[in-house]
Amino acid sequence: MSSAAVNAKMKVEKDFQVGEVDPRLYGSFIEHLGRAVYGGIFEPGHPSADEQGFRTDVLELVKSLNVPIVRYPGGNFVSGFNWEDSVGPAENRKRRLELAWRTIEPNTFGLNEFMDWCRKANTTAMMAVNLGTRGPNEARELVEYANHPSGTYLSDLRISHGYKEPHRIKTWCLGNEMDGPWQIGAKTAAEYGRIAAESAKVMKWVDPTIELVACGSSSTYMPTYPEWEATVLDHTYEHVEYISLHRYYDNHKRDTPTFLARSLDMDDFIKTVVATCDYIKAKKRSKKTVNLSFDEWNVWYHSNEADRKLEPWQIAPPQLEDVYNHQDALVVGCMLISMLKRADRVKMACMAQLVNVIAPIMTENGGRAWKQTIYYPYLHASVFGRGTVLVPLVQSPKYDVQDYTDVPYVEAVAVHNEAAGELTVFAVNRHLTDTLGFDIDLRSFGNASLIEHLVMESDDLEAANTADQPDRVKPRRSEGSVAADGTSFSAQLPKASWNVIRFKL
């Protein structure tokens, strides 16, 4: 990266609005994979475990994130999952070979336990149905079990399991990554579109209040992308409210400037899927708008080599346990900014995942829990990124890498919380050697005052948090880093930093 010669600038106009942030943009994901469930959110016998076996130390970390929705139970896992195995007395449940991740699933934690956990975590469920080995009948039966009040075999079965009140699960995923050859029961776009449409139809006949997410492409690298979206929506457009996007980024090549630019791919992914949705809308002469659910996103690569060495058929082995460093947190910050910039269409998103498995929270079995570096940008966005996203009028010096040109050193977006009388600017400085000046023009708001400038930086891009050093990388409150001149502010963004600049209006 060459040295930047000029400051970056941002003009924030109150009336130039992208759209309202749906709180579900800050969702997450719990799959029956690795130690996400067993040893993660559920560990009977742990010193912090409550009467149901839920780790209360993990619950507190989750509640601090203010997670509004959690996708469950998968993921690749769901395409071989029989939901009936996960309900009723735990001692009667069946152990199964779990083919997606080559483990043994004991089913001692299931649907009802997850709903209890959601209530304790102050969150809601995004439930996925199996459209790999199963189909419309099993999907509608699951909705009946979970959501119908009483008076039928399945709703009364739930009551007999100790849940008189229905769970009232509102949001449902129609399968998972059905375009992927790694998926149990993978399908062509036409095959999936038909089964998704028929499943959606009967699920909504059981409960007309639910909303549904169709499977989009597993990534921009899939050979069928974006034709997959067009074909699937051709079948499902009038039955679903959302289509999903999944994307993970890695730094296997140890090329940090390119790694930090990966969110530009996310920008293009969102633009393409939005355009495809709107093409099908026009084709069908529909008045309905299908929005986006980015229900898997994160950085994922650190654990790949360790996972290849795991012995199969264990219960809850340590799979996908990426230990995240400082530069990973910067990429996560850029990804959050990308989704906020299209908050008019990206209405839900799930950081994959929540605990232990490519996660912001890590635990030891029987021991400690701590925050990974990526916890902090996720926390800040969830807590301070509620309200209306404003059009990001940003000027920044740029750099080029092999895969991307005109990469802005400063990636930024502003969110106006009118009810709280606050405005928050999220900004990443991608420059690896220089502090950058960042001029923020707030004249359209009249008088404003600085609340705080939170900064997360590290001289070591590989620095990570561990059980022994849980606070090695964490944000600090920067004093004197923002100068004010009437309605204009000038901030200093340290090299390779995540920044949260909050104003009182």
Strands (DSSP E) contained in 364-464 are 369-371, 388-390, 393-395, 398-399, 407-408, 410-417, 422-429, 436-441, 449-456
pLDDT tier at 486 (50, 70, 90 boundaries)? confident
Contacts of residue 434, defined as CB under 8 A and 6 or more positions apart, other chains included, come to 3, 4, 495
In three-state secondary structure terms, 305 is helix
φ/ψ (deg, to 5) at 119: -65, -40
φ/ψ (deg, to 5) at 77: -55, -40
Count how many residues are written for the chain: 505
* Contact yes or no for 206/200 (Cβ under 8 A): no
- Per-residue pLDDT of 131-157, as tens digits, reads 999 999 999 999 999 999 999 999 999
Catalytic residue among 113, 141, 177, 241: 177
* Contact yes or no for 131/177 (Cβ under 8 A): no
Task: Please tell me what DSSP assigns to residue 325.
Answer: B
SS (H, E, C) 32-80: CCCCCCECCCECCCCCCECCCCEEHHHHHHHHHHCCCEEEECCCHHHHH
Task: Please tell me what DSSP assigns to residue 487.
Answer: T
Work out the average pLDDT over 480-500. Answer: 92
Closest CA to 121 of 366, 355, 374: 355
* Contact yes or no for 412/392 (Cβ under 8 A): yes
Work out the average pLDDT over 94-122. Answer: 98
For residue 241, give the amino acid letter. E
What b/e string do you get for 199-209 counting C-beta neighbours within 10 Å, with b at 16 or more? bbebbbebbee
Q: Is 479 a catalytic residue?
A: no
Instruction: Give the alpha-carbon dihedral of 200, 72, 60, 63, to 10 degrees.
Output: -20
* Contact yes or no for 315/138 (Cβ under 8 A): no
Catalytic residue among 296, 411, 422, 457: 296
Work out the average pLDDT over 405-428. Answer: 98
| Peptide linkage before 327 cis (omega within 30 of 0) | no
413-to-50, 316, 343 alpha-carbon distances in Å: 40, 39, 11
Q: Is 296 a catalytic residue?
A: yes
The pLDDT value recorded for residue 3 is 47
What b/e string do you get for 432-449 counting C-beta neighbours within 10 Å, with b at 16 or more? eebebbbbbebeebeebe
- pLDDT > 70? residue 2: no
- Per-residue pLDDT of 56-69, as tens digits, reads 999 999 999 999 99
- pLDDT > 70? residue 1: no
* Contact yes or no for 46/366 (Cβ under 8 A): yes
Work out the average pLDDT over 319-339. Answer: 98
Residue 413 tokens, joined:
């977006």
**The pTM is what?**
0.97
Beta strands 69-72 and 27-29: pairing type? parallel
Contacts of residue 469, defined as CB under 8 A and 6 or more positions apart, other chains included, come to none
* Averaged confidence pLDDT in the chain: 97
Distance separating the N- and C-terminal Cα atoms of the chain? 36
Quote the CA–CA distance of 89 and 110 in Å, as a whole number.
10
More confident call, 499 vs 484: 499
Work out the average pLDDT over 381-386. Answer: 98
Quote the CA–CA distance of 179 and 32 in Å, as a whole number.
21
Quote the CA–CA distance of 211 and 201 in Å, as a whole number.
11
The pLDDT value recorded for residue 485 is 82
φ/ψ (deg, to 5) at 188: -70, 165
- Per-residue pLDDT of 410-421, as tens digits, reads 999 999 999 999
Radius of gyration from C-alpha coordinates of the chain = 23
- pLDDT > 70? residue 5: no
pLDDT tier at 4 (50, 70, 90 boundaries)? very low
447-to-280, 394, 443 alpha-carbon distances in Å: 45, 21, 8
pLDDT tier at 12 (50, 70, 90 boundaries)? very high
Q: In which residue are the tokens 């989009």 written?
A: 216
* Contact yes or no for 8/499 (Cβ under 8 A): no
Quote the CA–CA distance of 367 and 377 in Å, as a whole number.
25
**Other C-beta atoms within 10 Å of 333: how many?**
27
- pLDDT > 80? residue 389: yes
List, in order of start, the domains of the chain with CATH numbers.
Answer: 23-384 (3.20.20.80), 391-504 (2.60.40.1180)
* Contact yes or no for 281/288 (Cβ under 8 A): yes
The pLDDT value recorded for residue 481 is 85
In three-state secondary structure terms, 430 is coil
Element (H, E) at 272: helix 263-283
Closest CA to 358 of 311, 332, 323, 325: 323
**Residue 153, Ramachandran bin (φ over 0: left; ψ between -120 and 50: alpha; else beta):** alpha
Work out the average pLDDT over 361-377. Answer: 98
Work out the average pLDDT over 347-362. Answer: 98
